[in-house]
Amino acid sequence: MHHPLVHLANAAAARWQLDPSITFLNHGSFGACPTAVLDAQRNYRDAMEAQPVRFFTRTAPPLLDAARQSLAHLLHADADDLVFLSNATAGVNAVVRSLRFAPGDELLVTDHAYRACRNVFDYVGQREGVKVNVAAMPFPLRSSDEVVEALLRAVTPRTKLAMVDHVTSATGLIFPIETIVRELQSRTIDVLVDGAHAPGMLPIDLIALNAAYYTGNLHKWVCAPKGAGFLHVRRDRQHLIAPPIVSHGYSVPRPGRCRFHDLFDWAGTLDVSPWLCVKDAIAFLETLLPGGIAALMQHNRELALTGRRMLCDAFHVPLPSPDDMIGSLAAVPLPDDPDPEHGVDPSTSPTPQHALQTELMNRFRIEVPTYYFPTPPHRLLRISGQIYLHPGHYQALIAALGSLLAEGH
C-alpha cells in the first residue's frame, strides 16, 4: 500500500518499541511507550542508581516540579492542584478511601465503570455501610443526552459522591462530562471523574471543568512509562484527601510547598522515573505531527472512526453511537457468543481474557480486546486509533475476524 497514512504509520512505528510481528490494535489497555521516552527513563534510573541520596533528595524534586508543570499545561490546570500517582485506580482509591460517609448516604457509579474502580466503591460501601447505586447507561445510543438523563434518574436526595468516566473503557464513549459535573454538583453531589483514557486523547480544561476530583492515566494516550498517573483535587477538597501511602510529608513540610504536594510527592523509596518522564512524553508527542498534540488527537480520532465504520460495514452492524462521542477508542458489537460457558480463559490476569481475543492473537498475531458487555453472551470488540496504525490494519482484523466467526467462534 502506498497510501500516505501507511507511510506515516510506518515512520511512527519505527519510533516505538513495539513487536513488529504483531498488529497492535489495543493501545487503549496499557498504552505503548516510545523508544525516546524509554531512553529518558533509562537516564533517570541510571542517575538514581549512580547516587541515590543525591537523586532522591536534590535531583528529583525539581524534575518532578517540571514534569508536573508540563502536565498542568496539557490539562489546563494549576500545578498546585496536581499530584502524581501510579495510575487512575490509585487516584480513585486515594479519594474514595479518604472520605467518610454517614449512615444513609449513597454513592453512585455507572454500569460502564471500569471494574477496578467500581471495586473501590463497593469496598468503601461495605466498610462504611452505605449503598452504592448503579446507573444503567444506554448502549447503543443516539445522543449523549441519553447518558445525562440516565445518570440523573439514578440520583437520590442521599447521593453524596458520584464516579463518572470521561471516556469509558468498556464502550469507548466520551461522556458529556462538563454537563454531568455541572448537573450533579448543582445538586451538592461531588463528582470524581475517572479520566483514565482522556489525557492525550481529548482536550482537557480542569480549571473550567471544576470537578471536585479528577484522576487519569498517563501511560495510555500520553505514552509515558507504566506507573504514571495523576490526581487533581479542587482546592477546597484537598484537606479531605490522604495519599495511599502516608509518609514523611505528613509531618515534615517543605518550604514553599503546598501541603497537597508534601503529602503525595514522597511515598518512600519509589521509582519516580515514570513521573519524571511525563514531560519527555508530552514533548515527544508534540513532534509527531505539525500542530502538535492537538493534531495528533484529531488524527487518532479520525483513524478510530475509520476503523469503526469499516468494521460496522463489514459485519452489517449499525453504528452504536454518534461520531461526536468517539475519541481514539471505538467499540463495535459482535454476534453473540455461541458458547459463553467456555468463552473466557480464567488463567489470564487481571481479568479472564475472552477466547476470541486469544484466537485473534494466537492465529493471526492481532492484539485487540474482545469481551462480554453488558453481560454474556453479548460481545464487543474495541479498537484503538494511534499514529503507528493505518486502515490496512483494520482490514486485516476484518479478514481474521470473519474467518473466526465463520468457524463458529
End residue of a domain, out of 283, 312, 331: 283
**Is residue 31 a part of any domain in this protein?**
no
Q: Of 201, 197, 294, 223, whose CA–CA distance to 34 is shortest?
A: 223
384 inside domain: yes
Residue 60 CB neighbour total at 10 angstroms = 21
Q: Is residue 288 part of a domain?
A: no
Q: Is residue 120 part of a domain?
A: yes
Q: What is the DSSP letter of 55?
A: I
Q: Does any domain span residue 89?
A: yes
User: Are residues 277 and 363 located together in one domain of the fold?
Assistant: no
The reported pLDDT for the residue numbered 213 is 98
Query: Residue 186: what pLDDT?
Result: 97
Q: Is residue 30 in a domain?
A: no
CATH label of the domain that carries residue 217: 3.40.640.10
Cβ contacts of residue 296 below 8 Å, gap of 6+?
Answer: 285, 288, 289, 387
Identify the domain boundary among 230, 265, 283: 283
Task: Answer whether 219's CB lies under 8 Å from 274's CB.
Answer: yes
Based on the domain organization, do 55 and 168 belong to the same domain?
Answer: yes
| Owning domain of residue 299 | 4-25+293-406
Strand partners, 370: 381
Same-domain check for residues 198 and 339: no
Are residues 363 and 229 located together in one domain of the fold? no
Q: Are residues 240 and 297 in the same domain?
A: no
Q: What is the pLDDT of residue 2?
A: 61
- pLDDT tens, residue order, the chain (409 aa): 467 889 999 999 999 999 999 999 999 999 999 999 999 999 999 999 999 999 999 999 999 999 999 999 999 999 999 999 999 999 999 999 999 999 999 999 999 999 999 999 999 999 999 999 999 999 999 999 999 999 999 999 999 999 999 999 999 999 999 999 999 999 999 999 999 999 999 999 999 999 999 999 999 999 999 999 999 999 999 999 999 899 998 988 888 889 999 999 998 899 999 999 999 999 999 999 999 999 999 999 999 999 999 999 999 999 999 999 999 999 999 999 998 888 888 888 787 889 999 999 999 999 999 999 999 999 999 999 999 999 999 999 999 999 999 999 8
* Among candidate residues 270, 288, 268, 286, the one with its CA nearest the CA of residue 278: 286
Residue 352: the pLDDT is 83
> Domain check: are 207 and 152 in the same one?
yes
DSSP annotation string for 272-305: -HHHHHHHHHHHHHHTSSTTHHHHHHHHHHHHHH
Pairing of strands 190-195, 159-165: parallel
Residue pLDDT, tens place only, 55-83: 999 999 999 999 999 999 999 999 999 99
Residues with Cβ within 8 Å of residue 82, at least 6 apart in sequence = 68, 71, 72, 75, 230, 231, 232
Examine residue 121 and state whether it is found in any structural domain, yes or no.
yes
328 and 358 share one domain: yes
pLDDT of amino acid 336: 93
362, 394, 390: which is closest to 381 by C-alpha? 394
Contact 169, 196 (CB under 8 A): yes
Domain boundary among 231, 252, 283: 283
What per-residue confidence (pLDDT) applies to 328? 98
The total domain count for the chain is 2
Does residue 17 form part of some domain?
yes
Are the beta carbons of 190 and 125 closer than 8 angstroms? no
User: What are the tens digits of pLDDT across the range 205-260?
Assistant: 999 999 999 999 999 999 999 999 999 999 999 999 999 899 998 988 888 889 99
Cα separation, 121 vs 112, in Å, equals 14
- Which CATH number goes with the domain that contains 354? 3.90.1150.10
